[in-house]
Amino acid sequence: MNRRPVPSVSSSPGAAGKTGGDCLTCALRRQPAFKPKPEEQIAFIREMKVFHRHLAAGSEIIHQGEVDAELFTLFSGWAFRHRTLPDGRRQILNFLLPGDLLGLQANMMAAAEYGIEALTDVELCQFPRNGTSRLLQDMPELAFDLLWLGSREERLVDANLTSVGQHTARERVATLILSLYRRCAHLDLVKDNTFQFPLTRVHIADSLGLSLVHTTKTWTYLRRMGLFTVEGGMLKLLDPRLTSRWAQTFDEDWVQRPLL
| Binding footprint of a copy of itself on the chain (CB under 8 A) | 1-2, 83, 85-87, 89-91, 93, 104-105, 108-111, 113-114, 132-133, 136, 140, 143-144, 146-148, 150-155, 157-162, 164-166, 168, 206, 208-209, 248-250, 252-253, 255
Q: Is 111 in the site for DNA (CB under 7 A)?
A: no
Alpha helices in the chain (DSSP H): 39-48, 104-108, 131-138, 143-166, 169-186, 201-208, 212-224, 240-247
* Region 195-214 residues binding DNA, contact defined as CB under 7 A: 200-202, 209-214
Kindly tell me which of 1 and 9 has the beta carbon lying closer to a copy of itself.
Answer: 1
How many Å apart are CA 96 and CA 73, to the nearest integer? Answer: 10
Kindly tell me which of 215 and 243 has the beta carbon lying closer to DNA.
Answer: 215
CB distance 219 to 204 below 8 Å: yes
* Chain centroid offset of residue 200 CA: 15
* Region 136-175 residues binding DNA, contact defined as CB under 7 A: 168-170
Q: Which does 219 bind (CB under 5 to 8 A by kind): a copy of itself, DNA, none?
A: DNA
How many Å apart are CA 174 and CA 6, to the nearest integer? Answer: 28
CB distance 8 to 44 below 8 Å: no
How many Å apart are CA 225 and CA 238, to the nearest integer? Answer: 10
Task: Give the bridge partners for 29, in sequence order.
Answer: none
Min dist CB 216 to DNA, Å, is 4
Min dist CB 245 to DNA, Å, is 17
Q: Is 216 in the site for DNA (CB under 7 A)?
A: yes
